[in-house]
A and B are shown apart, each in its own frame.
Chain A
Amino acid sequence: GAVVSQHPSWVICKSGTSVKIECRSLDFQATTMFWYRQFPKQSLMLMATSNEGSKATYEQGVEKDKFLINHASLTLSTLTVTSAHPEDSSFYICSARPLAGGGNGELFFGEGSRLTVL
């Protein structure tokens, strides 16, 4: 099946630093990738839709300058949490939809990145 790799799987950083999380589709191309945030024992909240070659589309309430998303190629999207604070500590999950087969189908998820900001 399609594989999405997310890196790093966990990261601990100091408050005020920036953290970059990578999401790669390993065996398929994806024009669209999605970034989610998940708090403990809660559902996934869509943060933004990452479109290859164009600006990301952010959900209401998500700060664009805080969560920088770059989708430089058909297989890579990055999420940078800028000037991280303890309240940014969360589980961040990316997903991708294969280019082939059209839209609205299943998504393939990375294993998630657990961010802890001290």
Chain B
Amino acid sequence: SQQGEEDPQALSIQEGENATMNCSYKTSINNLQWYRQNSGRGLVHLILIRSNEREKHSGRLRVTLDTSKKSSSLLITASRAADTASYFCATVRTGANNLFFGTGTRLTVIP
């Protein structure tokens, strides 16, 4: 990818379980964002975490950021079938204003 890698590439869980996706990036960043994409559709912004933040919550989402390791994680708690989608991390590099995406994780939540 232009910026980083995500793992796992694909994740399949049962409804109600938690889903954790990890993202690693390569350069220093201004912020890191997570997006969701349903198949064949555009992307929807989920959450933004700034480089000076370590953890952020939004509803069932929890994002962590470790700038020393250049990594982030997205946790979706109590997953639902409707959470089935691809999830991408994206970074804004320091001094830049464009967004570079990771490789994505395809999440399948089985009802």
**Chain A interface size, under 10 / 10 to 19 / 20 to 34 / 35 or more:** 20 to 34
Flag if B99 contacts A46 (CB, 8 Å): yes
Interface-side segment among B13-21, B42-50, B65-73, B75-83: B42-50
Contact of A111 among B35, B42, B48 (CB under 8 A): B42
Closest chain B residue, CB of each to CB of A57? B98
Mark A36-76 against chain B: 1 for CB-CB distance below 8 A, else 0: 10000111111001000000000100000000000000000
Instruction: Name the interface residues of A66-118: CB closer than 8 Å to any CB of B.
Output: 91, 93, 95, 97, 103-112, 114
Residues in A with CB closer than 8 Å to B24 are none
Flag if B40 contacts A106 (CB, 8 Å): no
Majority secondary structure of chain B interface residues (helix, strand, loop or mixed): strand
Flag if B40 contacts A46 (CB, 8 Å): no
Residues in A with CB closer than 8 Å to B88 are 43-44
Flag if B102 contacts A106 (CB, 8 Å): no
> Is A6 part of the contact surface with B, judged by Cβ < 8 Å?
yes
Between A and B, how many residue pairs show CB distances below 8 Å?
61
Please report the total number of B residues contacting A with Cβ < 8 Å. Answer: 24
Flag if B100 contacts A107 (CB, 8 Å): no
Flag if B41 contacts A112 (CB, 8 Å): yes
Q: 9 new A-B pairs (CB below 8 Å) besides A93-B43, A105-B48?
A: A43-B102, A43-B103, A45-B1, A46-B2, A93-B42, A104-B30, A104-B92, A106-B33, A107-B45
State the A residues within 8 Å of B (CB): 4, 6, 32, 34, 36, 41-46, 49, 59, 91, 93, 95, 97, 103-112, 114
* A-B pairs with beta carbons under 8 Å apart, 19 shown: A6-B42, A42-B104, A43-B104, A44-B43, A44-B88, A45-B2, A46-B100, A49-B98, A91-B40, A93-B42, A93-B43, A95-B99, A104-B31, A107-B33, A108-B45, A109-B42, A110-B42, A112-B40, A112-B42
